[in-house]
């Protein structure tokens, strides 16, 4: 894919959204598409009629009915991020929750709330289970463009809802929309805020106070690490000052601006404003400041992703996952040796080699953090990570911290690694991991997808691919289900003789095909694999 002329440059006014028009569309436009939960909730835009008041009303009502069906009687923790559609969606959802008598806990003072904080609060409440099980909602489209809105539901296990839950909510919500929303209970917003079931609490304090249970904050303080943080205008922006004060850390927040147009962003590779902390184009400003800090990082708007910046630039997310696992397995002595290390099957195979070297079990699952949730809950998984820069891990004592991706713990871990080893995560990758495990060339190449291609990918079986060699390498394994849990991957992964591999799957959040390739033969082999893989699956026109 060719780079857009604006890639990595400040966003010009010409591509900024009209915030007021977007919000007006949320209220006036009819639903032009169904409720559809992808890998992380329902997402869409009011400009396209795919995320508006009808959708949110129907989803919220469905959640109320799901809670009643499952006997979930504890509080529902609800948070929202800094996207323009998040505030109106929050108001709509609260109106429905209050009308249905759902005890709803919101962040005091209409403060923004990151995804991992909602997961943390759910789990903290449910430890005692004395007041009924809690669940939660996060209103966010994650790193998506400013025009988008999103709605995620986290059941009592604290993590992303599984397909059986989202399928039920999705089906019920769409039925409500078809009926004209007449079956949806709702009260005016002012009444919802004053309802006896609506409570405000401080979400920052409990989360910040508990951080030493997962990160060695004292080691970071003693090392005097100079830290640069770019919240990218996201929901965790007001957490960093309390963290710095509480633990005496040298943290400089380089951008404190909150603007739903995200006009302060540099443009992503395709010319779109996207708060993707794994993109060097979206992270261009912080990368330019790298020399001012010992370590720096950015997070997406709901703070479930991380981007680690060292003197050499933005780390490849796969490289950091490998380093994080390497470090944690050597520095968390209370973790049971039987605990598995989780990765999505499109993450780097360097992770496989690190895990094998520590004589641990690899738990390889399809794309989607929901696949790690039960392992965290039942004490079989110590770490779960996605190639898209999202991960979480256990507390130092081996108990669960968050069952959703946590951008706070993963970024603070980078500072702990530097404090304890004297090396940045990038230095560890280059000087420790590469000499031992190799230096693969990993890159994802997105492409267009139509219904024919999507159907082809989703109906593949290992027998569908007859090729014995690809790009001069023997085919050693063909997967359409994940080896860790046997779940369908929605596409295919093919492993080659030298450890190189490729995988293709439809995106769960955008209308495109994702092509993942890792080559142990450099960029030239990567290119050959890319050409032959597409031709093998879709014919010579690709």
Name the band, by pLDDT with cuts 50, 70 and 90, for residue 114: very high
SS3 537: helix
pLDDT at position 536 is 82
- Which is more confident, 354 or 504? 354
Assess whether pLDDT exceeds 80 at residue 128: no
Dist. CA 38–CA 228, nearest whole Å? 33
Per-residue pLDDT tens digits for 298-307: 999 999 999 9
Average pLDDT, the chain: 95
pLDDT at position 130 is 67
pLDDT at position 315 is 97
pLDDT at position 455 is 81
pLDDT at position 509 is 63
Name the band, by pLDDT with cuts 50, 70 and 90, for residue 541: low
Assess whether pLDDT exceeds 70 at residue 323: yes
Active site (catalytic) residues: 142
Average pLDDT over residues 491-517: 88
How, if at all, do strands 295-298 and 307-310 pair? antiparallel
Average pLDDT over residues 60-78: 97
Instruction: Please give the radius of gyration of the chain, using alpha carbons only, rounded to the nearest integer.
Output: 23
pLDDT at position 235 is 98
Per-residue pLDDT tens digits for 132-161: 999 999 999 999 999 999 999 999 999 999
Which segment, 222-226, 446-450, 527-531, is predicted with the most confidence on average?
222-226
Assess whether pLDDT exceeds 70 at residue 1: no
Distances (CA, A) of 59 to 65, 143, 172, 300, 442: 10, 21, 8, 24, 38
Per-residue pLDDT tens digits for 31-51: 999 999 987 789 999 999 999
Per-residue pLDDT tens digits for 8-38: 999 999 999 999 999 999 999 889 999 999 8
pLDDT at position 200 is 98
Average pLDDT over residues 63-89: 98
Assess whether pLDDT exceeds 90 at residue 510: no
Average pLDDT over residues 336-360: 97
CA angle 415, 316, 249 (to 5 degrees): 15
pLDDT at position 508 is 66
Name the band, by pLDDT with cuts 50, 70 and 90, for residue 464: confident
pLDDT at position 19 is 98
The DSSP 8-state label assigned to residue 140 in this structure reads -
The structural domains of the chain, ordered by start, are 17-205 (3.40.120.10), 215-437 (3.40.120.10), 441-538 (3.30.310.50)
Dist. CA 517–CA 525, nearest whole Å? 10
Please name which of 271, 212, 263, 40 lies closest in space to residue 141, comparing C-alpha atoms: 40
Q: Where are the alpha helices (DSSP H) in 49-188?
A: 53-70, 86-99, 115-128, 163-178
- Which residues on adjacent β-strands are paired with residue 252? 228
Q: How far apart are the first and last CA of the chain?
A: 13
Dist. CA 79–CA 367, nearest whole Å? 24
Distances (CA, A) of 489 to 287, 344, 345, 393: 34, 10, 9, 23
- Which is more confident, 67 or 535? 67
- Which helix H or strand E contains 532, and what residues bound it? helix 522-538
pLDDT at position 129 is 66
Please name which of 370, 371, 384 lies closest in space to residue 339, comparing C-alpha atoms: 384
Assess whether pLDDT exceeds 50 at residue 239: yes
Per-residue pLDDT tens digits for 252-294: 999 999 999 999 999 999 999 999 999 999 999 999 999 999 9
pLDDT at position 542 is 44
Name the band, by pLDDT with cuts 50, 70 and 90, for residue 534: confident
DSSP of 424-459:
-HHHHIIIIIHHHH---EEEEEEE---HHHHHHHHT
Average pLDDT over residues 233-238: 98
């Amino acid at each position: 894919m060719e780079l857009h002329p604006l890639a990595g440059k400040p966003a010009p006014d010409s591509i900024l959204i009209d915030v007021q028009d977007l919000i007006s569309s949320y209220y006036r436009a009819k639903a032009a598409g169904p409720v559809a939960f992808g890998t992380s909730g329902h997402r869409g835009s009011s400009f396209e009629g795919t995320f508006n008041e009808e959708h949110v009303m129907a989803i919220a009502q469905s959640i109320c009915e799901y809670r009643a069906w499952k006997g979930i009687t504890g509080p529902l923790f609800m948070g929202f991020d800094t996207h323009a559609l998040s505030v109106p969606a929050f108001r709509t959802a609260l109106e429905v929750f209050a009308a249905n008598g759902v005890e709803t806990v919101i962040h005091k003072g209409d403060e923004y709330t990151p995804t991992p904080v909602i997961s943390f609060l759910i789990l903290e409440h449910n430890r005692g289970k004395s007041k009924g099980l809690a669940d939660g909602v996060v209103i966010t489209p994650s790193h998506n463009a400013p025009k988008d809105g999103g709605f995620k539901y986290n059941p009592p296990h604290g993590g992303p809802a599984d397909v059986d839950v989202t399928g039920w909510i999705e089906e019920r919500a769409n039925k409500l929309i078809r009926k004209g929303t007449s079956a949806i209970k709702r009260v005016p917003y002012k009444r919802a805020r004053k309802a006896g079931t609506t409570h405000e609490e401080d979400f920052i304090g409990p989360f910040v106070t508990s951080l030493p249970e997962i990160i060695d904050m004292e080691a970071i303080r003693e090392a005097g690490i100079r830290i640069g943080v770019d919240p990218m205008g996201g929901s965790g922006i007001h957490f960093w000052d309390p963290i710095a004060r509480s633990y005496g850390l040298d943290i400089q927040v380089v951008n404190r601006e909150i603007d739903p147009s995200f006009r302060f962003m540099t443009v992503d590779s395709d010319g779109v404003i996207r708060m993707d902390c794994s993109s060097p184009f979206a992270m261009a400003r912080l990368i330019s400041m790298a020399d001012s800090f010992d370590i720096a990082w950015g997070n997406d708007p709901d703070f479930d992703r991380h981007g680690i910046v060292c003197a050499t630039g933005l780390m490849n997310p796969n490289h950091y996952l490998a380093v994080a696992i390497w470090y944690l397995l050597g520095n968390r002595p209370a973790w049971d040796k039987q605990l598995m290390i989780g990765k999505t099957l499109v993450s780097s195979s360097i992770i496989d080699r690190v895990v094998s070297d520590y004589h641990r079990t690899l738990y390889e699952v399809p794309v989607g953090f929901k696949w790690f949730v039960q392992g965290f809950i039942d004490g079989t998984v110590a770490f779960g990570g996605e190639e898209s820069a999202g991960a979480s891990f256990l507390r130092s004592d081996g108990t669960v911290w968050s069952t959703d991706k946590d951008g706070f713990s993963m970024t603070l871990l980078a500072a702990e690694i530097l404090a304890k080893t004297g090396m940045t995560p990038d230095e560890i990758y280059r000087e420790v991991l590469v000499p031992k495990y190799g230096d693969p060339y990993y890159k994802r190449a997105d492409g267009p997808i139509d219904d024919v291609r999507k159907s082809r990918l989703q109906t593949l079986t290992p027998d569908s691919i007859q090729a014995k060699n690809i790009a001069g390498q023997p085919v050693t394994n063909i997967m359409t289900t994940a080896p860790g849990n046997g779940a369908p991957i929605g596409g295919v992964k093919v492993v080659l003789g030298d450890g190189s591999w490729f995988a293709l799957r439809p995106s769960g959040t955008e209308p495109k095909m994702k092509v993942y390739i890792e080559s142990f033969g450099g960029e030239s082999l990567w290119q050959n694999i890319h050409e032959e893989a597409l031709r093998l699956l879709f014919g010579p026109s690709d």
